Every structure is written in structure tokens, then in C-alpha cells.
């Protein structure tokens, strides 16, 4: 599966932002995240694995320029180390040109949804 490039805005109180890619590997949602301080000094990327069974909610909001994906897990601590997580929710921004890749990812996530 191809990865979906994304941004996380408002990291570290707005002094940083993060860029990364998301993809499904086996039974995990994998986030490869690289953090930038004031738009410079990219740090080494870090891989975060979230078991698909730990996903609580995945909300998709389509926009004119960018789409937003909000991810919450249960238990909440699964997201704690990822840059940009606020109140237990990770909000990633995906550009409109990558909407097709995002839709493929969402289709894979929907298979794991438990109601």
C-alpha cells in the first residue's frame, strides 16, 4: 500500500510542525513522523505503530484545499508520544492532491471498525 503524506500543525505550541506519512502494515497503522522547529532543523523521523484494534474513532473532514483526519485510540496513551496530539486526538492534514491515497487508507481502516 502506498503511504499518505500529511502535516501536523501546531506542534509545541505552534513553534514546530511535523510532516510524515501514514500507511497500513499488517495489523498496524504506521505513522512515520519528522518534526521541524520553526520550519527548520528537521529531526530524524520516528515510526509510530498503532494497532488497528486500538483505534477508537477516525473522523474524516473534507475541505476545499486540505482534508483533515482525526484519530483517537482506546486507551488514549497509544498516541501520547506522537507530536501534535492534543486532548488524546491526533489531527493530521492531507493535501487535496493526495485525497485518492487517503481514500484507500480510509477503506482499509473501515474494515477494522467495530460498532
Q: Which domains does the chain have, with CATH numbers?
A: 4-110 (2.30.29)
Report yes or no: 97 and 17 within 8 Å, Cβ to Cβ. no
pTM of the prediction? 0.88
Q: Is residue 115 predicted with pLDDT exceeding 70? A: no
pLDDT for the residue 103 = 92
Q: What percent of the chain shows pLDDT beyond 70?
A: 90
Grid coordinates in use for 77?
496513551
Amino acid at each position: 500500500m502506498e503511504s499518505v503524506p500529511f502535516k501536523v500543525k501546531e506542534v509545541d505550541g505552534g513553534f514546530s510542525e511535523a510532516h510524515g506519512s501514514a500507511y497500513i502494515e499488517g495489523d498496524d497503522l504506521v505513522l512515520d513522523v519528522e518534526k521541524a522547529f520553526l520550519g527548520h532543523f528537521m529531526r530524524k523521523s520516528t515510526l509510530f505503530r498503532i494497532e488497528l484494534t486500538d483505534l477508537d474513532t477516525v473522523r474524516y473532514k473534507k475541505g476545499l484545499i486540505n482534508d483533515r483526519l482525526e484519530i483517537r485510540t482506546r486507551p488514549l496513551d497509544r498516541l501520547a508520544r506522537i507530536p501534535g496530539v492534543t486532548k488524546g486526538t491526533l489531527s493530521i492534514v492531507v493535501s487535496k492532491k493526495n485525497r485518492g491515497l487517503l481514500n484507500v487508507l480510509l477503506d482499509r481502516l473501515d474494515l477494522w471498525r467495530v460498532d
